[in-house]
Amino acid sequence: MSKYKLFLLRHGEGNWNKENRFCSWVDQKLSEAGVKEAQDCGRLLKEQGYKFDIVFTSILSRSIQTAWLVLEAMGQEWVPVVKSWRLNERHYGSLIGLNRAEMAQKHGEEKVKLWRRGYDITPPPIDESHPYFLEIYNDRRYTTCDVSKENLPRAESLKEVLDRLLPYWESTVVPEIRKGRTVLISAHGNSCRALLKHLEGISDEDIAGVTLPTGIPVLLEMDENLKPVKPRQLLGDQAKIQAAIKKVEDQGKALPST
């Protein structure tokens, strides 16, 4: 029997999503389409009668902006928003800023799929020669973390995302759910996928096939032990959701030669 509801949301489309580049820890705002996705998501949740008690986000702007727009569309701007780096997108290391389709042409689609979707494959780490290194590690937001800047990731597999996310989930999010509060986690494709893997017991192999499109809310209904009582539900127009999933999956394919 369902006792708790948890909503997961991958932020609306960012400018680098649109350009098919690995965004990761580079701070990007939502694109115009991403703003609309977040607003549409909020309107859908309002129409379906959902009310949030608390929202958790990463410390990246696109995650926070999405939460704000959703709450505004729902008329629930007053709901507390709690931010943590532990919900950040996966750190893609030296791949940050690169175009996925161009990489697929260079390295092959299977290699890029492994980098994007493999559970325990860590990409090459970012170093100080990388064009976005200083932009990330000199950013004041990373002085607010519960680990020193020197101990923040330089690259991560999905497994490592789950490893840094789980302590926050257990210490901060779970107590809110157990109080009977309805929680929204407005985060990123990989932080949401990592949490789904944990909650649904998805295998290391099968998680590669789990795709979350931007701006589509995912509802998990759970029992008293926080185990799902039914399959996750992607809320909204199902034909549009399937088209959005295909669009995400196609991002790692090589561009057709002209």
Known catalytic residue at 198: no
Structure tokens at 80: 């507390």
CB 82 within 8 A of CB 58: no
Known catalytic residue at 188: no
37, 72, 89, 135: which is the annotated catalytic residue? 89
Q: Tens of pLDDT along 54-70?
A: 999 999 999 999 999 99
252 annotated ligand binder? no
For tokens 């958790």, name the residue: 56
For residue 187, give the 3-state DSSP assignment. Answer: strand
User: Residues, the chain, total?
Assistant: 258
Instruction: Indicate the pLDDT class of residue 252, thresholds 50, 70 and 90.
Output: low
For residue 99, give the 3-state DSSP assignment. Answer: strand
190 annotated ligand binder? yes
189 annotated ligand binder? yes
pLDDT score recorded for residue 258: 46
236 annotated ligand binder? no
- CA 42-195-166 angle, to 5 degrees, is 120
209 annotated ligand binder? no
| Domains of the chain and any CATH numbers | 4-244 (3.40.50.1240)
| Cα–Cα dist 102/208, whole Å | 21
Look at the alpha carbons of 167, 172, 178, 183 in this order and tell me if their dihedral is positive or negative. Answer: negative
CB 13 within 8 A of CB 30: yes
| Cα–Cα dist 98/102, whole Å | 8
Instruction: Indicate the pLDDT class of residue 108, thresholds 50, 70 and 90.
Output: confident
Q: Tens of pLDDT along 113-137?
A: 888 878 999 988 999 999 999 999 9
Residue type, 58: S
| Cα–Cα dist 11/187, whole Å | 6
| Cα–Cα dist 146/143, whole Å | 9
* Average pLDDT over the chain, rounded to an integer: 93
Q: Are strands 183-187 and 217-222 parallel, antiparallel or unpaired?
A: unpaired
15 annotated ligand binder? yes
